[in-house]
Amino acid sequence: MTASAHDAVEAVWRIESARLIAGLARMVRDVGLAEDLAQDALLAALEQWPASGVPDNPGAWLMTSAKRRAVDRLRRDRMLDRKHAELAFEVQALEQAVPDLEGRMDDDIGDDLLRLIFTACHPVLATEARVALTLRLLGGLTTEEIARAFLVSVPTIQQRIVRAKRTLREARVPVEVPRAAERGERLASVLEVIYLVFNEGYTATAGDDWLRPDLCEDALRLARILAELAREEPEVHGLAALLEIQASRLRARLGPAGEPILLLDQDRSRWDRVLIRRGLAALDRAEALGRPLGPYALQAAIAACHARARTAEETDWTRIAALYDALGQIAPSPVVEINRAVAYAMAFGPAAGLEIVDAVASDPALAAYHLLPSVRGDFLFKLDRREEARAEFERAAALTRNAREQTLLLERAAACAGAPG
């Protein structure tokens, strides 16, 4: 196969794979089988398109090929344990779905994608399994790409995906949009996965790079799809708003040598104003639905305060502190408290921030959280308690697994050395 033909097939797969798997999952009611059928169709494309050319509607071609394989698979699997009449009826139902694909392919695609998102992010799966399966089925990433993004081995990702499919099958999780009674919990699981993927790209937990923009783009694309499919859910728009605004800063977060640049030191002319406008519009949509803002929408409102400030000095820290107060009320956590402490320090002075941080410093959940000593070190530095600040920055550097962040923290520690305490 020529390189150009292979690239064309790969590009089509990136665009169509989620739609293809989603449509197949609705029909066969098994995401694992749906992906297998989609992969079979991809192999057929790799064999045939170099000679025949890329069809006018490649998505419809792949779906037709996959559906025919579904019919063949059904015949093989059911022949031994189904009466012929029952088999014929079921096969006929699938075969009737094959013709006229170009005219009807998009009819159910929105619902199909929504079903697939809810299934891949089902709470019955462990968090890391939900993330891997979502990137595989909806992001179109290979196991190698997912492994590279999260700095784990390819076999580990393969095992997570295989176990996730098996768990869904054994738990008989239906490929459907959940009913109203369980939609809140299930939607929270979906949003959590997208948020985790974005955050791993925005501030990598380990490795040599501080940012992994590809992961941010994958999460942002999923958030946009979800916002189109679930327009009446304010938290969906809240998450989309948060990610749009956060993503707007990506170019400004790295220096010429790849070193991290913190928010208040960033060149705001490098912020992407298009993404900011998209984020503010998504936040408006969340607020227009007239329901109390949830955790993601509140975080988006905080991000909007930064986005609207032309300079760091113009930031409305008093409003940000109030928004963190609200966030702490509806989604209390020690990490929220640390962020609230930063806002209070900026609005009311470092002593106010230190008081909040010290109140949660003994929480076991923060024992290995490097941002606790990092933030505490910053407050101590501003209070001219330099020796204490140095010790905190060094402790933070020892806890982080990201090389870029470790360098930054050690530089801050060195700046404290020898200064009066």
Residue 162: CB atoms within 10 Å? 14
Rounded distance between C-alpha atoms, residue 196 and residue 238, angstroms? 15
The model's pLDDT over 353-410, given as tens digits with 9 standing for 90+, comes to: 999 999 999 999 898 899 999 999 999 999 999 999 999 999 999 999 888 899 999 9
Best-predicted range by mean pLDDT (61-65, 217-221, 273-277):
273-277
The contacts of residue 55 (CB under 8 Å, 6+ apart) are 49, 61
The model's pLDDT over 197-206, given as tens digits with 9 standing for 90+, comes to: 898 888 767 6
Show the tokens assigned to 381. Answer: 């530095």
| Mean pLDDT of the 277-287 span | 97
260 backbone dihedrals φ, ψ, rounded to 5° = -65, 140
Residue type, 262: L
Place of tokens 């998505």: 59
| Mean pLDDT of the 237-263 span | 93
pLDDT at 402: 85
pLDDT at 87: 45
Best-predicted range by mean pLDDT (81-90, 167-176, 196-205, 273-282):
273-282
Rounded distance between C-alpha atoms, residue 84 and residue 352, angstroms? 76
Q: Is the pLDDT of residue 40 over 60?
A: yes
Q: Is the pLDDT of residue 84 over 60?
A: no
Upper half-sphere CA count for residue 369 (Cβ side, 13 Å): 20
Rounded distance between C-alpha atoms, residue 225 and residue 121, angstroms? 15
pLDDT at 210: 64
Contact 275, 224 (CB under 8 A): no
Show the tokens assigned to 244. Answer: 């749009």
Rounded distance between C-alpha atoms, residue 345 and residue 351, angstroms? 7
pLDDT at 83: 45
Residue 371: CB atoms within 10 Å? 17
The contacts of residue 200 (CB under 8 Å, 6+ apart) are 149, 150, 212, 215
**Which bin fits 99, alpha (ψ -120 to 50), beta or left (φ > 0)?**
beta
pLDDT at 25: 87
Show the tokens assigned to 65. Answer: 């090929």
Residue type, 102: E
Residue type, 139: G
Confidence band, pLDDT 50/70/90 cuts, at residue 81: low
- What single string gives the DSSP state of each residue in 41-81? HHHHHHHHHHHH---SSHHHHHHHHHHHHHHHHHHHHHTTT
Q: Is the pLDDT of residue 289 over 80?
A: yes
Q: What is the pTM of this model?
A: 0.78
Q: At what angle do helices 127-137 and 180-202 cross, to 10 degrees?
A: 80
The contacts of residue 224 (CB under 8 Å, 6+ apart) are 240
Rounded distance between C-alpha atoms, residue 394 and residue 381, angstroms? 13
Q: Is the pLDDT of residue 96 over 80?
A: no
Reduce the DSSP state of residue 128 to 3 states and report it: helix
The model's pLDDT over 55-69, given as tens digits with 9 standing for 90+, comes to: 888 888 888 888 888
